[in-house]
Amino acid sequence: MKSNFSEIINSDKPVLIDFYADWCQPCKMQAPILKELKSKLGDDVKIVKIDTEKNQQLALKYQVRSIPTLLIFMNGQEKWRKAGVSQARELEQVISGLKSEA
């Protein structure tokens, strides 16, 4: 990842981080759900995929023990996390809840 991770998550908009691996079947199920979410929310959310195989230090730092693991950051702070496949509606509710807090 070229840009600095802390720069990416230090946004006043929700930043959804998807920790995944290419060989992971549930991760493959999560990908189209995130596309759907992005098409619904547009610029209201930034979605970043992080390959745990290529970014093992980052996965360790954020204690990602299973994949997919989704984390949502705002202003550099972790606001939400869930391991396993998440549905678009659930993610949408979490993100709109965070935006109303801001």
The residues assigned a catalytic role are: 24, 27
In DSSP notation, 57-82 reads HHHHHTT--SSSEEEEEETTEEEEEE
Helices then strands (H, E): number in the chain?
4, 4
What is the Cα gyration radius of the chain?
13
Nearest to 99 by CA among 7, 15, 6, 31: 15
CA atoms 41, 42, 45, 49: torsion sign? positive
